[in-house]
């Protein structure tokens, strides 16, 4: 497994809920052809399947909490293996959400060459998520859950950024700007990779 993906770039995309991770990843896919794996999308697919596991996951996500590490890491790993032969790069969106997730990923899969830190203000994220909630159909895009997700982001996920900063692979991206301008900075960070 580790061998198979050893030559592919692994990029972590980290940021608060509603910061614009998914939006930017879509544009990276269009320009660079990388494989986009969103932990949230993988989990929502499991929920949509109607499985028992999906029901358990749904209850956790509806509360704005994190699902067990092993569940989400196994899903990402399986999805990476499925694409290992054809992918030249992986965008891992929404993972790691806590330092421990990053450590386990590196033990089981490999090391990231870049962490895109998609940064927006708390009030901006809340505004975007309330708007997204009008059409997303997501059980977690409501005021109460958004607040919990934001609190958890500051508590559990921001330390991830400090952890990887010491390794010099973090690029902070100002996501307050219009989507295309944000993408300009994202593209510059990716073009800077060897």
Ligand X SMILES: Nc1ncnc2c1ncn2[C@@H]1O[C@H](COP(=O)(O)OP(=O)(O)O)[C@@H](O)[C@H]1O
Beta strand 89-93 with 114-119 is: unpaired
Reference 77, options 107, 29, 109, 45; nearest CA is 109
Among residues 8, 14, 17, 170, the one that binds ligand DAT under rule CB under 6 A: 17
Is 167 known as a binding-site position?
Answer: no
Structure tokens at 109: 């899969």
Residues 134-153, one symbol each (x = binds ligand DAT by CB under 6 A, - = not), give: ------x--------x----
State the Cα–Cα distance between residues 104 and 110, nearest whole angstrom.
9
Closer CB to ligand X, 4 or 131, in the complex? 131
Residue found under tokens 């944000």: 182
The number of residues that bind ligand X (CB under 6 A) is: 16
Residues 120-159 that bind ligand X (CB under 6 A): 128, 131-132
CA distances from 186 to 50, 95, 138 (A): 36, 17, 26
Among residues 15, 22, 64, 110, the one that binds Mg ion under rule CB under 5 A: 22
Residues 25-64, one symbol each (x = binds ligand DAT by CB under 6 A, - = not), give: -------------xxx--x-----------------x--x
What's phi and psi for 178, nearest 5 deg?
Answer: -60, 150
Q: Counting contacts by CB under 6 A, is residue 18 touching ligand X? A: yes
The least CB distance from residue 183 to ligand X, in Å, is 9
SS3 72: helix
Q: Are 116 and 13 in contact (CB under 8 A)?
A: yes
Closer CB to ligand X, 97 or 128, in the complex? 128
Closer CB to ligand DAT, 88 or 100, in the complex? 100
Residue found under tokens 């996920």: 157
Contact positions vs ligand DAT (CB under 6 A): 17-18, 21-22, 38-40, 43, 61, 64, 66-67, 72, 94-95, 97, 101, 140, 149
């Amino acid at each position: 497994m580790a061998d198979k993906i050893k030559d592919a770039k692994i990029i972590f995309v980290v940021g608060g809920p509603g910061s614009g991770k998914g939006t930017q990843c879509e544009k990276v896919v269009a320009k660079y052809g990388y494989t986009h794996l969103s932990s949230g999308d993988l989990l929502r697919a499991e929920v949509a399947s109607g499985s028992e596991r999906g029901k358990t996951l749904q209850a956790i996500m509806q509360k704005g909490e994190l699902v067990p590490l092993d569940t989400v890491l196994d899903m990402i790993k399986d999805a990476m293996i499925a694409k290992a032969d054809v992918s030249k790069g992986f965008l891992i969106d929404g993972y790691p959400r806590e330092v421990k997730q990053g450590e386990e990923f590196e033990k089981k899969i490999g090391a990231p060459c870049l962490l895109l830190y998609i940064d927006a203000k708390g009030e901006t994220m809340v505004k975007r998520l309330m708007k997204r909630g009008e059409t997303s159909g997501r059980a977690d895009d409501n005021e109460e859950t958004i607040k919990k997700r934001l609190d958890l982001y500051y508590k559990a996920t921001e330390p991830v950024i400090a952890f990887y900063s010491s390794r010099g692979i973090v690029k902070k991206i100002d996501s307050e700007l219009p989507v295309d301008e944000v993408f300009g900075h994202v593209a510059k960070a990716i073009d800077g990779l060897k």
